[in-house]
Amino acid sequence: MSKKLVLYFSVYESTKKLAEDIAKEAGADIVEIIPEIPYDSDRSHYSLLAKLAKREHDEDARPKIANSLPIADYDTIFVGYPMWWYTFPMIIYTLFDEYDFAGKTVIPFNTHMGSRDGGTYKTVKELAKGAIVKEGMPVEMTAAESGQSENIKKWLAKIGV
């Protein structure tokens, strides 16, 4: 039996809720990816977050991760994130730049407001060198916040986890 970890980055709690549901259904440990410089989590400031996300994307930024992530201790790693500007937040690039996923099974999941995975699952396959990357699970943001246990069970069965 493989040791499973759910890693996630979340600003507005949607991805956090989905990550918690996945960890529960998969019997996995869970760790948040915490940025060194926190993002504003006040949804009424969304336009400011969107501008910052766009600037990070345009500058190919690599925001620093504040906490150490126990990647080496796990065989199967779920990686979760919200969609920002039709891709994942730049801190997810930092994750794949700084950690070795070779020999691991990586399973992406994300929250979105209509863009599904935006092609990020293909990007995960490119960045997680030497890893087996399984089919991901995109969930609309408000659906993620209301709980997805039944859909997660079906998805996990489909991908053999």
- DSSP secondary structure of 34-95: -BSSPPP--GGGHHHHHHHHHHHHHTT--PPB-S---GGG-SEEEEEEE-BTTB--HHHHHH
User: Residue 60 pLDDT > 70, yes or no?
Assistant: yes
1 pLDDT higher than 60: no
How many angstroms separate the CA atoms of 110 and 115, rounded? Answer: 10
pTM: 0.96
Report in angstroms the alpha-carbon separations of 8 from 15, 21, 40, 58, 113: 7, 12, 17, 23, 18
| Banded pLDDT at 160 (limits 50, 70, 90) | very high
Domain boundaries, the chain: 4-159
Give the number of C-alpha atoms closer than 13 A to the C-alpha of residue 18, restricted to the C-beta side: 31
- Place 7 in a pLDDT band, splitting at 50, 70 and 90: very high
66-111 per-position pLDDT tens digit: 999 999 999 999 999 999 988 999 999 999 999 999 999 999 999 9
Domain 4-159 sits in CATH 3.40.630.30:
no
